[in-house]
Structure 1
Amino acid sequence: MPFTMTQDTSAEPEYEARCVSGNASDCDADSGTHHTPSPVEEWQRKHTQETGHRRYRRNFGDYTVLEPPPGLEELASVPGRST
């Protein structure tokens, strides 16, 4: 069944970054989780200014909902039915 995938608007997306700079090992400082990218980007700028570190691992997470095609909602909700 050709489902359509959409972002679940009932849950906010999550943004975060972790510093992977350092000499012998990664710094591992992190931005914490935020619901918009702006605080994460600002944290990265500040961390770079304070430490000189310039390499980060950024993560984005959200939730999705799969919607069946119009008119097939009932078929899509039948447990055990193969699609």
Structure 2
Amino acid sequence: MYTEADKNRIRWRSRRGLLELDLVLQRFLAHEFEHLDEATLAAYDDLLMLPDNDLLDLVDGRTDSDDPRFQSLVVRLRSWQAPGNQQ
């Protein structure tokens, strides 16, 4: 079970050094974060362990994840890209 402190830590870890990635993650957090179930929240928490460039490649669609826990989450993140940023 994720506590509010755990969720705040995840929100903080969602702030990234790459502006493009930061914008997508902040949009995702604003609209979907409070609706994530425990399994999806755990997958998102693990996804944040990736380096910024690798995570951006996933979100931009340049690469795909082999981890089944990430696949639907990455699709959701891709939907929060700004128009014109999608490849």
Q: Could you tell me the TM-score, scaled by structure 2's length?
A: 0.24
Higher share in helix: 2
Greater RCO, CA 8 A, separation 6+: 1
Q: Which has the larger radius of gyration?
A: 1
Q: Could you tell me the TM-score, scaled by structure 1's length?
A: 0.25
Higher share in strand: 1
